[in-house]
Every structure is written in C-alpha cells, then in structure tokens.
Amino acid sequence: MDYNQHWLLILITLLPKYKEKKMSSPLSGWKNVVGSGGRGTCSCGSWKNHWINSEGDWPTYCSVKNCYERAEHGAHVKNNDEPGERIIPMCSSHNNPDFTREFSIKPGTKCSDAIKD
C-alpha cells in the first residue's frame, strides 16, 4: 500500500464518523420561534410535509423530551448552538405561542432546516 492509498483508507474510515458527529443536534437549549406561524410555508404545502420530504417517516410522538402527545405540526425552533431555524415534529401544546420556555428534545430527534423550497 503506497502513501496515498494509506491516507485514502484513513479518510474513508474516519469521514463517516466525523459527519455523523457533526450532524447531530444538541438535546437541550431549544426554544420555539415566536411569530413563525404567520410566515407561510414552503412549496411542500406545510412544514410537516417539508420535514417528511427532508427526513422521512413522521414520528408518532412530539419531539419534546418527556412528551407523549401526538406529533401534529412541523414546528419552527431555534438553538443558540445551531445556525438558523429548524423544523421538528411537535404536538399542539408545544407548538404554541404561549409555550415560550426553553426545552430539551428527545435523543434521535431529526431536525430539518427551515428553508423554503
């Protein structure tokens, strides 16, 4: 194995682990984006559809830690450790302008970019 092949093997081995680590979102420090409900949606028709098109199968339950209500909405959320806004599945109680406190999300929650297509 020559020098270039050696480094290529190292990169192939480490890159998926690096990408996986960088792609995970923080579990704590999330807040709803106030006023996002009146902004309209992307070409997907709804933010729920946007999340499904980006992330796959819609989960049964809300993404907020310790909540087991049905996920009905694609909610705009933000985190100071993440650039931009994200969409996560939420129940009606948590996807609400009155829910203003900081919250944690469940491990494995997929966060879609809130970019209009």
Specify the pLDDT at position 75: 95
Domain ranges of the chain: 26-113
Question: What value does the mean pLDDT of the chain take?
Answer: 85
Strand runs labelled E in 1-117: 30-32, 73-79, 85-90, 112-113
In sequence order, the 6+-apart residues with CB closer than 8 A to the CB of 38 are none
Q: Which of 6-10, 37-41, 58-62 has the lowest mean pLDDT?
A: 6-10
pTM beyond 0.85: no
Amino acid identity of residue 53, one-letter, is N
Q: What is the pLDDT of residues 37-46, one digit of tens each?
A: 777 778 888 9
The stretch 81-106 carries a mean pLDDT of 94
Higher per-residue confidence, 14 vs 81: 81
